[in-house]
Chain A
């Protein structure tokens, strides 16, 4: 909440605020190869990740209620992460998303199995949904 008011302070009147972030959801994990894609597992949001998302949503509802910003548009789109191997993906998840997302052991095993039988151009992919909201400073 305070961060949004601080952002309002540094924006010119009628300035634009773009909020770009992933939507808390089950992110599908899969293997892509030869133009085909096969989603076989999901990442799961941890309670802390869901709480952060909820807090952000609440803050934006509050600044809209106060009239500090006016929502002009909102759209969603897909965002893809790729790795050469399941192990590289797992390392990344553990290093970068450890506090908000988890890949269950069964899901990782399923990804490894699928990757092992895919073509030589195989890559591992995580698909997430993004939301981009444009606000106008009031």
Chain B
């Protein structure tokens, strides 16, 4: 078995308590393979994940559910130079990345 992370769902519970994601435009910085993204994306309006690791990006894109295809996107980008206009997102998550 590969590494299993947080099967108890503790992180999911606290993350969803920390903000209301409903209809919000979310930027996840350091989205990795999408493990955290799938834990809140279903309720968010739109999600953009940025990640530098190309393999992790491929995995995230491959694992994206069909139902999320129009609302979740992954982009290769650096947190020091975010390729988005100012005041684009309602919520930003620094996901294990700072």
Evaluate contact between B4 and A82: CB separation under 8 angstroms: yes
Bound CA–CA A93/B97 (angstroms):
17
Interface size class of A (residues with CB under 8 A): 35 or more
Query: What's the A-B contact tally at a CB cutoff of 8 Å?
Result: 113
Evaluate contact between B3 and A7: CB separation under 8 angstroms: no
Interface size class of B (residues with CB under 8 A): 35 or more
- Which 9 pairs between the two chains have the least Cβ-Cβ distance? A82-B4, A3-B79, A84-B1, A18-B93, A19-B94, A16-B91, A12-B87, A56-B98, A10-B84
Interface set of A (CB-CB < 8 Å, partner B): 2-3, 6-7, 9-13, 15-22, 56, 59, 73, 75, 77-84, 88-89, 92, 130, 132, 134
Interface set of B (CB-CB < 8 Å, partner A): 1-8, 10-11, 14-15, 18-19, 27, 29, 36, 79-82, 84-98
The 7 sampled A-B contact pairs (Cβ below 8 Å) are: A12-B87, A15-B90, A16-B90, A17-B92, A17-B93, A21-B96, A81-B4
